[in-house]
Amino acid sequence: MKTLIVTHMGSPETLKDIPEFLQRIFLDKDLIKLPFQNFLGPLIAKLREPKTKMHYIKTGGASPLAKITDSIARKLKDRLVDENLNIYVRFTHSKPYLENDTNSELIVFPLYPQYSKALTGAIEKKLPQAKVLKNWHVEEEFIECMKKRIKDAVKQYKPDETVLLFIAHSLPASLIEHGDPYKDQVEEMFQLLSGYFKEYEARLAYIGKVGPKKWIGPEAQKEIKNIKKKNVICTYLSLPVDNIEILYDIDFYLRKNAKSVGIENFIRVQMPND
């Protein structure tokens, strides 16, 4: 029997789950390479615990990511009822963990529109026999869904007073330098979506940088200071589901920065979710 797995990095279910979640991230050599990783990874994770807990507390104590992913899986099960599929949710960095299953014909659906060796590629490495759904950042139905949401957000704002700020999750620049297609695919999606709204100024920036090494830029926190118009419509291009990066980094922190530099209206485009 075929099995469909819906997956992504995951998130802590409660504040108590944050230490284990952070440890798995900083021990993940595909995602973040560190010298003496088995020693430094847990140390950095421990140092980041208070800050990460504060982010979750400010957004209600937990991320809705797991619940929305469960809802996606249920809706897929209803829609694919005639396909004779087992459908599960599994995560790479939080419970329930993604594990190999050699007894089933696996189809894996990572909720990452763009391909990166550190994300989708790591899933392929873990499940080498699986069919992995990938590179769907410019799929017509997905783009139409995002375009409609942007259109709904911008309709009351004048083009000469408004900037469309597209934001993606950042990754280490070393990945891109070694041929990772993630940045190119983010830019391809940015060009496609912004092309539907040519009367508006459009910018692309990144969030989520960790540590002193070079990551993909420009950073959104710096880019927001260069915007001189009074309205910003923000669209997140990575994982199309509400998560802590959206709810804290954009909705709270970036909005606060925008207000501090005189931006009057900071509107975040709603995610497709389930």
Q: Give me the tens of pLDDT residue by residue for the chain, a chain 274 residues long.
A: 799 999 999 999 899 999 999 999 999 999 999 999 999 999 999 999 999 999 999 998 888 999 999 999 999 999 998 788 999 999 999 999 998 777 779 999 999 999 999 999 999 999 999 999 999 999 999 999 999 999 999 999 999 999 999 999 999 999 999 999 999 999 999 999 999 999 999 999 999 998 888 999 999 999 999 999 999 999 999 999 999 999 999 999 999 999 999 999 999 999 999 9
Residue 156 in contact with residue 195, Cβ under 8 Å?
A: no
Q: Global pTM?
A: 0.95
d(CA 91, CA 95): 6
Closest CA to 269 of 155, 176, 178: 155
| The CATH number of the domain covering residues in 140-268 | 3.40.50.1400
Report the half-sphere exposure of 176 (CA within 13 A, side-chain side): 14
- C-alpha torsion sign, points 77, 83, 88, 91: negative
CATH 3.40.50.1400-classified regions of the chain: 1-136, 140-268
- Whose structure tokens read 């490495």? 125
CATH topology for the 1-136 domain: Rossmann fold (3.40.50)
